[in-house]
């Protein structure tokens, strides 16, 4: 019997959104300078950071540890920083032609 990769229950979906928001906000605070990106893109970038960071931690064999999973959450944050940076670059290019008043 094959187990699902992600539990899509309401509680888990809410936790994914909340955790993604936390990772995204922390990633945005870590990045230097101002990122002129919408709040929803920060949450999505944080969710991407959570999923990719989880995948990397399982790849490295550090997903499940005793106590607080510092390495897993650190990987999630690093990937979240990269994701927020990419979103900022993409939104910056999209808005490059518009003039600020």
CB 82 within 8 A of CB 31: no
Torsion sign across C-alpha atoms 61, 70, 19, 64:
positive
85 neighbors 73 (Cβ within 8 angstroms): no
What tokens were used for 76? 């999630």
| Mean pLDDT over each residue of the chain, to the nearest integer | 84
Q: How far apart are CA 80 and CA 37, in angstroms?
A: 14
Task: Say which DSSP state 4 is in.
Answer: P
- pLDDT exceeds cutoff 90 at 12: no
pLDDT digits (tens, 9 = 90+) for 34-79: 888 999 999 999 999 999 998 898 898 887 777 888 888 899 999 9
Where in the chain are the domains?
Answer: 10-91
């Amino acid at each position: 019997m094959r187990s699902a990769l992600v539990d899509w229950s309401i509680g888990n979906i809410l936790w994914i959104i909340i955790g993604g928001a936390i990772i995204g906000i922390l990633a945005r605070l870590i990045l230097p300078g101002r990122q002129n990106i919408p709040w929803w893109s920060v949450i999505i970038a944080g969710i991407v950071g959570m999923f990719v960071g989880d995948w990397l931690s399982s790849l490295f064999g550090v997903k499940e540890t005793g106590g607080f999973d510092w390495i897993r959450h650190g990987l999630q944050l690093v990937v979240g920083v990269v994701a927020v940076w990419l979103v900022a670059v993409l939104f910056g290019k999209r808005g490059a032609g518009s003039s600020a008043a």
